Structure 1
Amino acid sequence: MAIFTIIFPLLFMVILGFITTRFKFLNKEDINGISKFIFNLCIPVFLFLNMFQAPLATSLNTSALIVFYIPVLATFAIAFIANQVLANKSHANISASATYALGSSYSNTVLIGLPIIVSAIGTHVMGSVFFIITFHSALLFTLTFLLSQIKNQAVSFNWSQFVKNVLFNPVVSSITLGLIFNALKIKFPIQLENALSLLSKPALTGALFVLGANLSFYKIGKNWHLPALASALKLLLLPALVYGLGRSLVKLDEDLLAVVVLLSASPLGVNAYLIALQLKQHQATLASTVVLSTILSVFSFSFWLSILL
């Protein structure tokens, strides 16, 4: 019952978002407008405030970073090799395999991971969460693009633009700014802090609603074998590796172990699909994986929550 209590409100918002677009109550332009408000205003303010208020002395935990990122890189490598072995000739090049590896290891940490963690554990772990997700996109996207340059002159990539996009990404910049303000012990007038707190309230609810709405725009393709494998690697193997490393070898405390496992158990983030579009590799595969892994994450989250709580 406790697991259902945690999952249901989040699932309800995703389903509500899906229904509103599926039955044409809201169209794609409406969702784009809501998305801009949520992702360019509410979520950055939410991340900033939580990082600004986090206890820095206990937030940065190198053990948690190790427990999260070593399995992520291991899963990336396994998926890369799997694509080289299983894919047909058109999708067996290094760029395609790197894209598939990204689709098997990149987590939707902000839209899904954060709401699950807040509901299951509470906000006191937000500092640790933000230190982990700050490097998430930069590491995996950089690795994917670096591999894509090997023997693939057809892929032209603007590294200066990539660095600029990472540095000024709303997630990275808001967390970084919150960290700076926290470290410098800068204080806000109570009126401004209350106003920012009010603006941050729709962040997680809106993110789940937009996620559900966008699911109706993506389809699971006919060739479902690669998306199914990517979803299995993402939802089963990756969190299992994180759990095993954090429980047996590094031995994190219970709350921190739950944080890294739930982050790793999050489904594929849609940004990975955008990278696939840019590299012109596995576009249909990653679009299908976004949908399939998001649907299946209801069961994977229930499983991991039953073990962790």
Structure 2
Amino acid sequence: MTALSTLFPVFFMIGLGLLARIKKWITPEQKDGANNIVFNILFPIMIFNVLFTAKIETSAIWIILYVFIAFSLAIIMGKVLSRFTGKKVAHISPYLLTTCEGGNVALPLYTSIVGLSFASNTVIFDIAGTFIAFVVIPIMVAKSTAGKTSAKELMKTIFTNSFVIAVSLALILNFTGAYAYLSTTPLIDIYTNTILQATGPIVGMILFIIGYNLKISRETLGSLIKLLTVRVLFYICVIIGFFIFFPHLMADKIYRIAVLIYFMCPTGFAIPMLVSPLNKSEEDADFQAAFISLFMIVTLIVYTFIVVFVY
């Protein structure tokens, strides 16, 4: 029942978006407008808050570095295997191999098994995913879409990117102790309530847009299955790497469950929006939505296996 309470709202919003397109409740232009609101305004606020309030322990640096390297290698591998996974989607498929949806899928599923007191185990992984999603990918997209521009213009495009600004400002304030100071003042409630108000609609809107774009055609089905297989196999290797590099942590069953669930979760829900400037047609958005939706089934299978056989 706990899995259902986590996954049903996700599938509900995806289904609602799909129904909105079929019934033509929302036009493509209106959907694109909602996409722009989330991407250009709300997401930078969310990512600023995540890094501004994050507690990065020294002992977790090696884990964050390992996950960051893994996510980076996923993109490289995606580019290398682009012929295998399909030339038609080669410009977007590598990005679908990187990051995992931690906050909205992994975290609630994990805590439904072990409890909220162990939530930090998956949150640590998300720090690496945050840097990939909101620093590395925007820079790569900016470089790809800039065309034949000068180095100066390219750097301007990168460093005026709202995500790069949000990440840089948040880290500066974090390391200078600004949040710790803010927490001791009455202003903390104003800040917290403002952030909650600004970021509350994000997940629901993203899932709605994913559902709106959800179409599976025969032409792309082969690429979807191949890419899904590559992602599963790659993150099995990442999980094995945890046993090799962090055996003391993986000896703990509760930590081991965190690794298994997190890395078998779908691509971060933000990725389709982050790479949308690379889309050549509406079919690209359809492909991304279909891939994330299909991978949710993999996640559900893994979660069920862990509940029945591991925990």
TM-score above 0.5: yes
Matched, 1:41 2:44: no
Deviation string, structure 1 residues 221-254 (Cα, Å, up to 9, x no partner): 52532332122212x1122122121234434565
2:134–2:167 CA contact under 8 A, matched in 1: no
Name the counterpart of 2:166.
Answer: 174
Query: Which residue among 274, 298, 301 is the counterpart of 2:299?
Result: 301
**In structure 2, what is the Cα distance between the partners aligned to 1:117 and 1:72?**
20
- String of CA shifts for 1:172-219, please: whole Å, max 9, x gaps: 432332222222122442353122332222222232223222x14x55
- Taking the aligned partners of 1:86 and 1:127, their CA distance within structure 2 comes to 30
Q: What corresponds to 2:278 in structure 1?
A: 275
CA contact (8 A) 1:42 1:203 kept: yes
Match for 2:217: what amino acid? Answer: I
With 188-197 and 291-300 compared, the bigger mean Cα shift is at 188-197
Relative to structure 2, which stretch is displaced further, 120-129 or 287-296? 120-129
Judged with a 3 Å threshold, the aligned counterparts in structure 2 of structure 1 residues 143 and 25 are, in CA distance, closer, same or farther, namely closer
Answer yes or no: is 1:196 the counterpart of 2:192: no
2: distance between equivalents of 1:52 and 1:130?
12
Q: CA deviation at 1:143?
A: 7.6
Q: Flag structure 1 segments of 5+ consecutive residues without an equivalent.
A: 149-154, 278-282
- Does 1:135 pair with 2:132? yes
Task: Find the residue that maps to 1:61 and give its secondary structure.
Answer: helix
Letter in 1 for 2:258: A
**1:190 counterpart letter in structure 2:** I
Q: Does 1:185 pair with 2:177?
A: yes
Shift of the alpha carbon at 1:100? Answer: 6.8
Q: What TM-score results when the alignment is normalised by the length of structure 1? A: 0.71
**Percent same amino acid at aligned positions?**
16
Are the aligned partners of 1:220 and 1:292 in contact in 2 as well (CA < 8 Å)?
no
Between 260-269 and 37-46, the greater mean CA deviation after superposition: 260-269
Task: Give the Å deviation of 1:261.
Answer: 5.9
Q: Flag structure 2 segments of 5+ consecutive residues without an equivalent.
A: none
1:239 paired residue number? 235
Kindly report which structure 2 residues correspond to 1:1-309, keeping only aligned pairs within 5 A, or say none.
1-57=1-57, 60-67=60-67, 69-70=69-70, 73=73, 76-77=76-77, 79-84=78-83, 91=87, 99=91, 102=94, 105-107=97-99, 109=100, 112-120=101-109, 121=111, 124=120, 126=123, 128-136=125-133, 139=136, 156=148, 160=152, 162-186=154-178, 187-188=181-182, 189-190=187-188, 192-193=190-191, 194-213=193-212, 215-216=213-214, 220=217, 222-234=219-231, 236-251=232-247, 252=249, 254-255=254-255, 258=258, 262=262, 265-267=265-267, 269-270=271-272, 271-272=274-275, 274-275=277-278, 277=280, 287=285, 289-306=287-304
Q: Secondary structure at the match of 1:196?
A: helix
Is 1:266–1:297's contact at 8 Å kept on the other side of the alignment?
yes
Give, as a single letter, the amino acid of the residue that structure 1 aligns with 2:290. L
1-structure distance, mates of 2:53, 2:69? 25
CA RMSD of the aligned region, Å?
A: 3.9
Indicate how the Cα distance of structure 1 residues 261 and 244 shifts in structure 2: closer, same or farther if over 3 A, else same.
Answer: farther
Residue 52 and residue 237 in structure 1: after superposition, are their counterparts in 2 closer, same or farther (change >3 A)?
same
